[in-house]
Amino acid sequence: MTARFEELTTFRLGGPCSRLIDCETPEALAEAMRELPSAGDAFVLIGGGSNLLVSDQGIDATVVRYRTETPRIRLGTDRVEVAGSTALDGLTRHLVEAGREGLMCCTGIPGTVAGAIVGNAGAWGGQVSDVLESVMLMDRSGNLTEADPSTLAFSYRHSNLKERNDVVVSAVFRISKGDRGALEDERESILVRRAERHPNLSHEPCIGSIFRNIEPTSAADRRQAAGWFLEQAGAKEMKEGGAKVFARHANIIVKCDDCSSQNVRDLAARMAEAVREKFGINLVREVRYLGRFQGEQLEQDNGFY
């Protein structure tokens, strides 16, 4: 079936794709991965669409969406195996309800487990790679390979899966027993703090932080928040068409009336330029662009969004 990316991403922006194939299970994903190349069809893989800005023109390709509404989780005492199609926050909620610790840093983060591993998602000083034990990958012919995390070159909000053609089918994480009541309190506290700083996606669509935080330098022994530099550079006052900077977080752009994907791209470029002029710092974009944007080179369409 055909679809528009405004229906497939948390930003609710983007033009059409030529075809959409929904895959909830590894078996369905493998079938799609085997059939599409043999038919000569160009395709791109997405998950929850939470870190993706698609151009207003869309893309002339099939979209394979690996996502499920039903968490696919196999829980053990000190390990949990989960399908990459499972929502990341669905996994964290399941672990808390089972009295298990290990991925609390991912509480409230949108997107799928697969996308989280590709982008090494996390917060509050933690990230998925900290407790990742193994990853099952699928190449674009549907072949499976188990990978050790040490081969994936994890760093802050990055892995080499962003440059590869492999898909995260499933993963195993290390966990430990904890006190369910204490874990529920911690989860609720994190959700409250996130609500204070982040938009409610149901009525303020966004794609999270636009830029990565800044790596430690000789002047600072810890990572520095890109939002602070953006706020000092006046980003909170910026607007471009129907895109504006979120009032409570200078590193987030929200969609308003008559917003286009190009508006978001142009606003992000203005924000980065303001920080460069004021501080001499080149911000690194965390959000991935798909399709053609004025002022941008076309990005490679591999990876997982």
Q: Catalytic amino acids?
A: 157, 209, 286
Of 232, 234, 266, nearest to 53 by C-alpha is: 266
For residue 211, what are the β-bridge partners? 285
Round to whole Å and give the CA distance between 172 and 135: 6
Report CA torsion sign: 16, 21, 24, 25. Answer: negative
Q: How far is residue 174 from each of residues 5, 123, 130, 134, measured CA to CA in Å? A: 34, 18, 9, 9
Q: How far is residue 152 from each of residues 119, 132, 160, 163, measured CA to CA in Å? A: 11, 11, 5, 10
Q: Which SS3 state, helix, strand or coil, does residue 31 take?
A: helix
3-state secondary structure 122-166: EECCEEHHHCEEEEEEECCCCCEEEECHHHCCCECCECHHHCCCC
Of 81, 130, 74, 76, nearest to 102 by C-alpha is: 130
